[in-house]
Each structure stands twice: as C-alpha cells, then as structure tokens.
Structure 1
Amino acid sequence: MKLDIDYVRAQFDQLADDPEFTFASNAGGSYVCNQANQVLEHYNHHTRVQPYSRFSPSAEAGHAMDRAHAGWAEALNIRPSELTIGPSTSINTYVMAQAIGDIWKPGDEIIVTNQDHEANSGVWRRKALEKGVTIRQWEVEPDTGLLNIESLFPLLRDNTRWVFFTHCSNVIGAVNPVAAIVKTIKTASNACVFNDAVAYAPHHIADLKALGVDGYAFSLYKVFGPHQGMLYVNKDIRGDLTSQAHYFNSGNPAKDFGPAGPQHAQIAGCAGVLDYFDELHQHHFGASDKKRGAKMEDIHQLMVQHENQLAAPLLEFLHHHADVRLLGKSHTNDNDRAPTIAFQPLKQSAKSVAHKLQDEKIGTEHGNFYAHRLVSDLGMDPDDGVVRLSLVHYNNQDEVNRILKALDSALN
C-alpha cells in the first residue's frame, strides 16, 4: 500500500496557497493540519474561558484539553500522569534541568553529545557546571556526524547519572537506534536516559515504553499542530526529581514539570493532530479497533516509504555533486535516515545557495539550526552553516523535481 498523497495534501489548506511554492523547511516548523485548526477555531470561538469550572463553556474547555492530554498519552503508550504539555521543547528541557539537576552532586557524571540541538545539550551542561558534576561528551564521527555506539561504552561509569542524546539529528538526519542504545546504557550503568525527538516525531510517533527511555521530548508545531512541547517523564523516577510547581501544587503530575499556566486553546488544538492521524489511518486501512499506538505504527510505515522515495533523488544528486559536501548518509536503504538533508556548498556560501533557492520559490534556510556544536565540530562556520532541505509526508514528487532543478541552477 502507498500513501495517498492527494488525500494527505487536501488536509493542509496552506499547501494550496501558492502551487508554485515548495516548502522544504519543515524541520523548523511544519504546516498545521486542518483538523488542528478546526479545534483551535472552535475553542477560541466558543470556549475561550478559564477551563475546568462547572458552567458549560468552562467544562467544555477542560474536556477539550483533557481529550488532547489523554489522546497523546495513548499514542505514546504512556500514562496520562507521565505527560506534560508545555510551551516548547526548549522550555521543557530547561524546566527539567532544574528538576533533575537539583539532586546532582560533585562526583556525579552526565553524558551529552555534540550531535544534539542545543535544547538537549546546553541546559544539562549549564546545570552540571553549577553543581560540580563531570560532563562527558559522546562525540560524533568527525567525517559523518554519526554517533557510534561503541564509543559510548568507555564513557559509562558507576557514577553516570544521566545520558542525553537525540532520537534524530535535525541537521544530518541520522535516526539513532534508541532502544539499543538505552539497553547498552542500562546494562553498563544505573543511568537514566533522556531523548530529544523533535526531529524524529514528524516522521514517527514512537512507543516510549518500547524505547525504554526515562524522559522524552518533542515539539508539536513540527508535527502538524500548535506551538506546544510534549514531555514524558517516567513515573518510576518522578519521585526522585524536584517539583518545579508552586509549593501548593507540588505532587500534582500535571503541574510538577509545567510550572507556567497552560496555554488552553493550544493544548486543546493538540487533539486535532490525533484526529488527523485517525482519519489518515481510516482512509488507508478502513475502520479499525486497533489501539492508537498500533495505528501510529501503520501510519509510520506509509510515511517512511513515501519519504524515502522523496529523499532518494535529492541524496543521489547531492552525493555525486563535486561542489557539495553532503552530511549524513547518502541513502535511505536502512530506514535510519529522515528526509532532513543538509549540505555544505564548497565553492560558495551556504547563505548564497539558500538565497538562490529561495529566489526559485523553494522554502529553505541556511545556518546551524541550533546544532551549533555539531556544525562547528564538523569543520564548518556555524554562522553560515549548511543549507537544509527538510521534507515530510505531505511533500510530493513534483516538489522534489522543482528542488532538483533549483539545486542544479544554484550550484552550477
């Protein structure tokens, strides 16, 4: 079975705004599906009051928020009490750095990588320095930007408390084998694991219990929804962490790691993304009594097949172009590469190439994309950075052909 791309594109009204424009900057924030916009519109038109009171609009508002919370917990195969919906992943990890770091002490160690977006790096490093904790860096391979699990072993010790790494690089598109890495960590140490999935979730909503992580974060505005961040914290470790809520709310799972007032309409709108996924599944597989997590896996199989077909000709072109350094794998054969494709032009600046592509109505950008350490350690100027083309399942082959034509012109 193939993804019905015409059906998919009909669920995103913004795609019809300019048929000649190709949006290839999805890793910075995706278009919003119609279903999420409909929920947001209804909430703002009819239930824009403080939620969770007994009177009608307020009760309905609370129900809309609860529907999103419960639905996303089901999709991720976690308990609702393990899920916090906050403003963004950067804010969520900042809050978690306070909650986790409060119990660190001199002699403890943490492991971070230089592959990550700074949201899953800087907050932990800063807190470790504050607490006198040793920071060890799991280094990427300097030629490829890939993480090698073999180089993780020597870093793990009895006093390793946490390991932080990404599910998928937002620059090189490498999908890391999270479950295998977690197993390695747990076998060799008593460390907890926190995983950043901002660049992975647009392509697959994962089963978090199957991954075995203790913490997991991603941003829904990159997964076809409102500007919110999803944060999972395993119930087995929550009691060891410091609540960041007001003292009278301490111990409330909904508030411990979400100290700010929730963005009511935005949270309600998160359910619209699940409505979209449900409708997408029904369109392709018919009515089903499968659990939502199983539906997500079905959808993932459709998405990865389609996205691999989109990425393949772009990777082939860039891999063989003499004036380009392609970052990450040059193929999708192993299903461990997202269609997030970054390259360094060798004879002109990344800025110049990005602007040429933009002039051809290709929506793309250049820079370090908050992976400053990675771009720098791969030997590039982090200010100019790389050109990044990032696709998702609603992109189509016609758009890829436009990108290829524009690339050929911009690079030659």
Structure 2
Amino acid sequence: MDFDINFARNQFLPFTDDPDFVFCSNAGGSYVARQVHQIFEKYNRHMRVQPYSGYSPSREAGDAMDRAHSLWSEALGISPDELTFGPSTSMNTYVLAHAISSTLKPDDQIIVTNQDHESNRGVWLRMARQKGIEVRHWNVEPELGLLEGKTLENLLTEKTRWVFFTHCSNLVGTVNPVQDHVQMIRDSSDARVFVDAVSHAPHHIPSPRSLGVDGYAFSLYKVFGPHQGVMYLDHQTTETLEAQCHDFNVGALAKHFNPAGPLHAEVAASAGVLDYFTDLHKHHFGQSSQNLRAKLDDLHALTEVHEAHLTGTVLDCLAGCPDVRVLGKQTAEDNDRVCTVAFRHNQRSSSDICAELQNLGIGCESGSFYAYHLVKDLGVDPEDGFVRISLVHYNSQQELDRIVSAIQQVLG
C-alpha cells in the first residue's frame, strides 16, 4: 500500500496558504493538524469555563479534557493515571526533578548524556548540584555524535539511581536502541530509566511499556498538536516519588506532577492529534475496530518507507557536497535514522548557509537547537552550530526536490 501524502497534506492548512514555501523545520515545531484546530476553536468558543462543574458548558469542557486523557492513554498503551499533561517537556522534567530529588542520597549517582536537548540534561545537573550527588557523563563519540552502548556499560555501578537519555537526538537524528540500553541498565544496576522522545515521537510514537522504561516524555507541538508536553511514569515509579501537586490532590496519581491546574483548551485539543491519526488510518486501511495503539503501529509501517526516502535523499545530496560534515548515521538503510539532518561546512558559517537556503524558499534553521553542550563538545561554536533540515511524513517529493536543488546551489 502506498502512502497517500496528498490526503495527509490536506489536513494541514499552511500547505494551502503558502504552497511555494518548503517547511523543513519540523523538529522545532510541526504544523498543526486541522482536527486539533477544530477542537481548540470549539472549546474556546463554547466551553471556555471552569471544567468539571454541573452546568452544561462546564460538563462538556471536562468531557473534552477527559477524552484527550483517555485517547492518549490508549495510544500509548498505559493506564490513565500514568499520564501527565504539562506545558512542555522542559517543564515536565523540571517538575519531575523536584520529585526525584527528595529520594536521592549524597553517595547516589545519576547518568546523563551530552547528546540530549537541554530539557533532559540541565534539570538533572541542577538537581545533582543541589543534592551533592555524583553525575556520570555518557558522552558521544566526537565525529558523528553517536552514543555507544559500551560507554554506558562502563558507567553503571550499584550506586546508579537514574539514567537519562534521548530516544533520538534533535541534531544527530539517529534512533538510539532504547530496549538494548534498558536491558544493559537492568543487568548492571537497580537504576530507573527516563527517556526523552521529543525528536522521536513525530516519526513514531511507541508504547513506553514495550521499551521497558520507567519514564518517557515528548512534546505534542512537535507531533502536529498544541503546545503541550506528555509524560509517562509507571505506577511503581510514581509511588516512590514526592507528589508535586496541591496537598489535597495527593493520591490522585494523574495529578502528582501538575503543580497547578492544566491548560484546559490545550489538553482538550491534544485529542485532535489522535483524531488526525485515526482519519489517516481510516483513509488507508478502512473502518477498523483496532485500538489506537495498533493504528499507530500500522501508520508507522506505512510512513516509514516514505520518511526513509526523504532521509536517504537528503543524506545522499550532502554526501556529494565537498567539505560538509553531517551528524549521525550517514545512511537511512537500517530504519534507525529519522529525517532530522544537521550539517555544517568546514569553511563557511552555518548562519550564512542557512540564510542563503531561506532566500531560496527553504524553511530551515541553524544554531545549537538547545543541544548547546553537544555542539560545543563536537568542537563547534554553539553560536553558529549546524544547519538543520527536519522533515516528517507530510513533506512531499516536490519539496524534497527543491531542498536538494537549493543545497546543491548553495554548497555545490
């Protein structure tokens, strides 16, 4: 079965607003699906009241929020009280760090990487400084920016309490083998595992349970939705941590990591992401009684071929450009590479290259992309950083052709 990209693109209004612009900055925030806009508009027009009261608009508002919570729990294959909605992944990890800190002792250790976005790094380093615990650094190899399992194995001890790493770097673009790393951690320590999936979820939303992790987080504004962060923590982990909610909400696990009330309309509109995926599934597979978890897996199998083609074509183009350094795996053949491609020229500034591409209608960006320490450790000035091309399933062959042509014009 071929992926019907025209159907997918018709669900996103910007493609009709400016058809000549090539948007390839999806890793910083994707376009928002039509289904999300519809819920958001309806909520703000008819239900902009305090939810969960007895009068009609309030009941409808609460129902809309509950629907989002229920659908995302089903999609992730988790219990509803293992799911937290928050303003962003950065804020969710900030709150989680406060919850974890009270469980740590001075001789404990944590492991962090330098491949991560700062949302899954800085909060843990701050927590460690405040608690006086040891931080062990799982650093990338210095050329491609890849994490190696052997390096992790040498860091683990009986004192390791948490390991924090990313499912896929927002610059390196290579999918880390989470299950393999989790198994290694379990074999060597009693540590819990928290994975940042912000750069992976736009390409595939797996079940956290299938990965074996204790915590998993991503941001919906990079997955075709509103500015919300989704965080999973399993029951056993949540019950060991200090609740960060109002004291009268302690015991309601779904509220434990919400210090304040949620953003009502944004939570409700989060269901629109899954409405979009449901419509996409129905268009390709027909009416189905499958649950959302199974539908997401079907869609991933459908779109990964298209995305691999996008990735491989961009990588091949850059491989033909002299004096260009590309991060991550250099091919897309093993289905462990997303189309987030970061590159820089050995003799020219990334900001200048990016500006030239933008002048040709290519919506790319340059910089460190909140992976400041990764860029610095790779021997590059974070103020200039890398040019990043980031594509998702709705990017077309025509757009790909324009990207390749522009890169060749600027770098050839």
TM-score by length of structure 2 reads 0.99
Amino acid at match of 2:111: I
Q: Which residue of 1 aligns with 2:403?
A: 403
Q: Percent identity?
A: 56
Is the CA contact 2:360–2:406 (under 8 Å) kept in the aligned structure 1? yes
**Matched residues in 1 for 2:173 and 2:298: separation?**
22
1:39-50 equivalences under 5 Å are 39-50=39-50
**Matched residues in 2 for 1:287 and 1:366: separation?**
43
Query: Shift in Å at residue 246 of structure 1?
Result: 1.6
Is the CA contact 2:144–2:326 (under 8 Å) kept in the aligned structure 1? no
Q: SS at the partner of 1:152?
A: helix
Amino acid at match of 2:326: L
Q: Which residue of 2 aligns with 1:357?
A: 357
Structure 2 residue ranges without an equivalent (≥5):
none
Structure 1 residue ranges without an equivalent (≥5):
none
**Matched residues in 1 for 2:100 and 2:66: separation?**
27
Amino acid at match of 1:123: V
**Matched residues in 1 for 2:53 and 2:306: separation?**
45
Q: Which residue of 2 aligns with 1:6?
A: 6
**Matched residues in 1 for 2:75 and 2:40: separation?**
20
Q: SS at the partner of 2:270?
A: helix
Q: Which residue of 2 aligns with 1:91?
A: 91
1:72-221 equivalences under 5 Å are 72-221=72-221
Amino acid at match of 2:23: F
Is the CA contact 2:228–2:266 (under 8 Å) kept in the aligned structure 1? yes
**Matched residues in 2 for 1:260 and 1:315: separation?**
44
1:167-316 equivalences under 5 Å are 167-316=167-316
Name whichever of 298-307 and 55-64 sits farther off: 298-307
Amino acid at match of 1:69: H
What's the C-alpha RMSD, in Å, of the aligned pairs?
0.8
**Matched residues in 2 for 1:138 and 1:320: separation?**
32
Query: Shift in Å at residue 254 of structure 1?
Result: 2.6
Amino acid at match of 2:115: Q
Is the CA contact 2:246–2:260 (under 8 Å) kept in the aligned structure 1? no
Q: Which residue of 2 aligns with 1:390?
A: 390
**Matched residues in 1 for 2:254 and 2:81: separation?**
7
Is the CA contact 1:323–1:411 (under 8 Å) kept in the aligned structure 2? no
Paired residues, what number?
412
Q: SS at the partner of 2:341?
A: strand
Name whichever of 241-250 and 365-374 sits farther off: 241-250
Query: Shift in Å at residue 72 of structure 1?
Result: 0.3
Q: SS at the partner of 1:251?
A: coil
Q: SS at the partner of 1:305?
A: helix
**Matched residues in 2 for 1:184 and 1:110: separation?**
15
Is the CA contact 2:198–2:217 (under 8 Å) kept in the aligned structure 1? yes
| Structure 1 residue ranges (4+ consecutive) displaced by more than 4 angstroms after TM superposition | none
**Matched residues in 1 for 2:364 and 2:45: separation?**
34
Query: Shift in Å at residue 311 of structure 1?
Result: 1.4
Q: SS at the partner of 1:254?
A: helix
Q: Which residue of 1 aligns with 2:26?
A: 26
Query: Shift in Å at residue 320 of structure 1?
Result: 2.7
Any idea what the Cα deviations from partners look like across 1:349-397, whole Å, max 9, x if unmatched? 0000000011011111100000111111111111100000000000001
**Matched residues in 2 for 1:61 and 1:259: separation?**
21
Is the CA contact 2:120–2:165 (under 8 Å) kept in the aligned structure 1? yes
Amino acid at match of 1:211: L
